[in-house]
Amino acid sequence: MKMIAPVLTVLAAILLLWYAATVWMNSQWTYDQAARAGEEVTFSELVTDTLTQKRPVLPAPHQVAVGLWEGVAGQKITSKRSLVFHGWITLSATLAGFALGTGLGILLAVGITHSRAMDLSVMPWAIASQTIPILAIAPMVIVVLASLGITGLLPKAIIAAYLSFFPVLVGMVKGLRAPDHMQLDLLKTYNASQGATFWKLRLPSSMPYLFASLKVGVAASLVGTIVAELPAGATRGLGARLLSGSYYGQTVQIWSALFAAAALAAILVVVVGIIEQITLKRMGMVQ
């Protein structure tokens, strides 16, 4: 409970800065309008106007809150204007991509830790793959797959997987190599097979590393999905919501979609965190 005061202080400071920025950034429009009408604007008029514009440069927090509320609760969830509807589209592709990326990351990590050749041949490509901006890759993947007749969830999931396999790969390689010499020697004295070493030592040792990576991976998946929803002029998903908002200058819609995406990411990370807690507790690795 001691933490409430500092947390609220930081929140208040952010809101205050945001409101100040809103007044400042939207003031040009207010001044222009007043000049056209040949009127003078008082400070209180300026504040009232900048916080209530229909298409502000920067929407005020309460406008975003209202936009978010109407998007989530004010529509039927099957409506094209519902953030729940778009959120679900994005979420399903995110989860598919996350599963795909996690599976790929784990498989590659297992290969890399067991084969020196794979370590040398695959790891550089994995690193190189992450140096290419996703914005450059995403449209190509969408277009190529569309020409093959593959549209909808799969192309988005592939791009999400492209972003999320990497943290899982790096974390799992580290985790599978976590057992020290003594622990490996111990298994050697039992004449344990490679398989037994993997299942009984390497895999359990890697669990804390895996979960740390999954948290990064799931957030990366969401970013990948949203980016994948931008280029094809998609009409569904939070990315599409962002895009159409920017086409029509609907800044409130953009910010609402942004916050919906942020909330979704937060929920996903928290869910992974809860699964982590339960798993590690069951394994006896946290007290």
Partner 1 sequence: MTAAPVIQARGLELTFETNDGPVHALKDIDLDIEKGEFVSFIGPSGCGKTTFLRCIAALETPTGGSLTVNGISPEEARKARSYGYVFQAAGLYPWRTIAGNVKLPLEIMGYSKAQQQERVEKVLSLVDLEGFGKKFPWQLSGGMQQRASIARALAFDAEILLMDEPFGALDEIVRDKLNEELLKLWSATNKTIGFVTHSIPEAVYLSTKIVVMSPRPGRIHEVIESTLPKGPRPLDIRDSEEFLQIAHRVREGLRAGHAYDE
Q: Print the SS3 string covering 237-274.
A: CHHHHHHHHHHCCCHHHHHHHHHHHHHHHHHHHHHHHH
Find, among 97, 36, 54, 28, the residue nearest to 237 by Cα. 97
Find, among 224, 126, 220, 125, the residue nearest to 170 by Cα. 126
Half-sphere exposure of 164 (CA within 13 A, CB side): 33
CB proximity list for 212: less than 8 A, separation 6 or greater:
171
Between residues 1 and 182, which has the closer beta carbon with respect to partner 1? Answer: 182
Q: What share of the chain is helix, strand, coil (3-state, %, to 5)?
A: 80, 0, 20
- What is the smallest separation between the CB atom of 194 and partner 1, expressed in angstroms? 12
- What is the smallest separation between the CB atom of 180 and partner 1, expressed in angstroms? 8
Q: Tell me how long the chain is.
A: 287
- What is the smallest separation between the CB atom of 89 and partner 1, expressed in angstroms? 39
Between residues 75 and 205, which has the closer beta carbon with respect to partner 1? Answer: 205
Rule CB under 8 A: say whether 190 interacts with partner 1.
yes
Binder to partner 1 among 42, 133, 191, 247 (CB under 8 A)?
191
Query: How many CB atoms are located within 10 Å of the residue 207 CB?
Result: 17
Between residues 36 and 181, which has the closer beta carbon with respect to partner 1? Answer: 181
Rule CB under 8 A: say whether 283 interacts with partner 1.
yes
Binder to partner 1 among 201, 223, 227, 265 (CB under 8 A)?
201
Rule CB under 8 A: say whether 207 interacts with partner 1.
yes
Q: 93 near 157, Cβ under 8 Å?
A: yes
Cα-Cα end-to-end distance for the chain: 23
Rule CB under 8 A: say whether 189 interacts with partner 1.
yes
Between residues 44 and 189, which has the closer beta carbon with respect to partner 1? Answer: 189
Binder to partner 1 among 84, 187, 212, 263 (CB under 8 A)?
187
Find the part of the chain contacting partner 1 (CB under 8 A) among 36-44, 92-100, 138-146, 194-202.
194-202
Binder to partner 1 among 13, 186, 271, 274 (CB under 8 A)?
186
Binder to partner 1 among 8, 33, 200, 270 (CB under 8 A)?
200
Question: Given the rule CB under 8 A, which residues bind partner 1?
Answer: 182-183, 185-193, 196, 200-201, 204, 207, 283-285, 287
